Structure 1
């Protein structure tokens, strides 16, 4: 059984360069690109108008921005191509800079790449180019956990060699677990309370571009250049299924996101297609050819209890963005 989603609006040329990342809030969506500014669009009005431009957010452009799934949407974090992390706070519907974590100058440390927030907005996880994963306590503004994924060096000095580029990260909604995806296809899960790795997961042999915990943390999804979405059971760390398109050469998957019920996964890929997957059945139930250019980010929007406009249903909505520099919004074609 398929599901129908309709394109309800497109914000053309939302950025002057391609869009790399999206971060939804209860009433808006933040987008980041190769330009220095972050853009904030309303998701409670039919035309999805621009409500704020955060100018000079990142001098060299921004490759990741995040908010916490299921949160109040008052905290966001972004990472620039200069290696800086910025934490933003929403007060009276305006985003402003709370504080900045400067690029590390320590010898042997990699550049920061992906970021994720816990649902309570208290913890921030970030990956590095040398395979490390760091967790910060935002209230204390200090690093509380650091995980190594590199092998021990043979020099006998107790140091570790660099691990594989950590390209993706997610925090479970309760903040207990951190998952990372790496350039060599590795997927790791860490217990933040115990401060140690609990699972090293198999199933992917090519770079992992996105990892995502299900809302109840019963499943972890991972996807990337292998063109499949691997699903793992978090109780035992088992690889339970793959979601894959019926083609001999599936496109690279750049972004995945669970819906609020954990029934469906959204994916965006380099062939410009957005797909909705029924996880229990293991099948794709909707496909949209978004653009000829690749997609870098796809996100479900928080479900609204009201229609945006007369005749528009209250079903689930999602947003896709990428190389065409536009934001495209979709809604489920059911419900009034």
Structure 2
């Protein structure tokens, strides 16, 4: 008897308290990415019930990032391996595999021509590398830090610039290619968790565990302003994501809020209150098309509503750890899936599955 996959029920991101979660952006606007265990999850942004899974890593995956062309995804794991694989075919064939350093990969960035990559993390001898995607040849050095690098980004237009944020509480600014370290920004007093260029490349934002979000000139690296004045959030800021027109950004914080900022005035336009429980801390965010998304410490994926900041448009729930058992029951004529996992949760898929998936009536 042959079997055919009908539907994939994707897991949530695997979260860790105090560690930012990077959400990968599809340049075509259709999907977003995140990691859980040894897999990369690809979900449709408009209909997150549509999902695909990449399972070829031997170690726990930490981050995944689309190439600007949209044809490839680069994913990194805790051992320091980078796998670059195809997005156009169902098999996701491997194109290249590299190990730029030994240690956990924390972030990945591409130049806009999809030819160069920057990779950072917790290396033993070095904390980052910049290389050609199709040969692994170095195109400069990623220097200026004395501790692990948490975040990296590349200016999406020429002249290219590289920024990185580290546990040493600094942001390093480099010019290239070949990339050479120019100077460090020392405005933060705690770990720098996230650095991101605006889509037009004119500015970049640096967010830290001290609650600060610094806005700088994208070409020169000079500080322009600090969002919210002295502090942007009452807790650490773990992620920022720019609007497509580069005029606004959203920030995710451990104070259990997400804020929408007008960058030109440095003021918060909207504050999304995500709850009062420790699991409501916000560790990741993404602005893609008209969707504003955040990720809670619980792993829940929240679609934010500008018109009702206290209630998300939808909350995507699921399992974040291994599923131990699954059963199907028929209740009031509907086939319902119950699943239980190592995270202590029992999930109920409460929509009609008999016709959708061809499941038997149990």
TM-score normalised per structure 2: 0.71
Which residue is 1:165 aligned to? 148
Alpha-carbon deviation of 1:76?
A: 1.8
Indicate the larger mover: 271-280 or 246-255.
246-255
Provide the C-alpha distance between the structure 2 equivalents of 1:206 and 1:49, rounded to a whole number of angstroms.
38
Alpha-carbon deviation of 1:96?
A: 3.9
- Corresponding position: 1:324 with 2:323: no
Provide the C-alpha distance between the structure 1 equivalents of 2:170 and 2:231, rounded to a whole number of angstroms.
24
Which residue is 1:21 aligned to? 22
- For residues 79-158 of structure 1, the aligned pairs below 5 Å read 79-92=76-89, 95-102=92-99, 104=101, 111-129=104-122, 132-149=127-144
Uncovered stretches (5+) of structure 1, i.e. residues with no partner: 1-11, 151-162, 304-315
Relative to structure 1, the CA distance from residue 183 to residue 53 in structure 2 (aligned partners, 3 Å threshold; closer, same or farther) is: same
Q: What is the root-mean-square deviation in Å for CA atoms of aligned residues?
A: 2.9
Provide the C-alpha distance between the structure 1 equivalents of 2:251 and 2:108, rounded to a whole number of angstroms.
18
Relative to structure 1, the CA distance from residue 215 to residue 104 in structure 2 (aligned partners, 3 Å threshold; closer, same or farther) is: closer
Relative to structure 1, the CA distance from residue 128 to residue 324 in structure 2 (aligned partners, 3 Å threshold; closer, same or farther) is: closer
Indicate the larger mover: 274-283 or 237-246.
237-246
Which residue is 1:154 aligned to? none
Which residue is 2:328 aligned to? none
Provide the C-alpha distance between the structure 2 equivalents of 1:73 and 1:79, rounded to a whole number of angstroms.
17
Relative to structure 1, the CA distance from residue 270 to residue 97 in structure 2 (aligned partners, 3 Å threshold; closer, same or farther) is: farther
Alpha-carbon deviation of 1:264?
A: 0.6
Relative to structure 1, the CA distance from residue 276 to residue 245 in structure 2 (aligned partners, 3 Å threshold; closer, same or farther) is: farther
Relative to structure 1, the CA distance from residue 270 to residue 300 in structure 2 (aligned partners, 3 Å threshold; closer, same or farther) is: same
Q: How many residues end up aligned between the 2 structures?
A: 289
- For residues 152-231 of structure 1, the aligned pairs below 5 Å read 163-174=146-157, 176-231=160-215
Indicate the larger mover: 270-279 or 228-237.
228-237
Alignment partner of 1:254 out of 238, 250, 257: 238
- Corresponding position: 1:297 with 2:294: no
Relative to structure 1, the CA distance from residue 287 to residue 88 in structure 2 (aligned partners, 3 Å threshold; closer, same or farther) is: farther
After superposition, give the CA deviation of every residue in 1:173-194 in whole Å (9 maximum; x if it has no partner): 1361110111121111111225
Alpha-carbon deviation of 1:249?
A: 7.3
Preserved CA contact (<8 Å) 1:149 1:164: no
Indicate the larger mover: 219-228 or 291-300.
291-300
Structure whose alpha-carbon radius of gyration is higher: 2
- For residues 42-61 of structure 1, the aligned pairs below 5 Å read 42-45=44-47, 48-55=48-55, 57-61=56-60
Provide the C-alpha distance between the structure 2 equivalents of 1:202 and 1:80, rounded to a whole number of angstroms.
29
| SS of match in other structure, 2:87 | strand
Uncovered stretches (5+) of structure 2, i.e. residues with no partner: 1-8, 309-362
Relative to structure 1, the CA distance from residue 169 to residue 73 in structure 2 (aligned partners, 3 Å threshold; closer, same or farther) is: same
Q: Which structure has more strand as a fraction of its residues?
A: 1
Which residue is 1:3 aligned to? none
Preserved CA contact (<8 Å) 1:13 1:324: no
TM-score normalised per structure 1: 0.76
After superposition, give the CA deviation of every residue in 1:129-163 in whole Å (9 maximum; x if it has no partner): 3564311211233332223325xxxxxxxxxxxx2
Which residue is 1:284 aligned to? 268
Which residue is 2:314 aligned to? none
Provide the C-alpha distance between the structure 1 equivalents of 2:12 and 2:92, rounded to a whole number of angstroms.
18
Preserved CA contact (<8 Å) 2:213 2:231: no
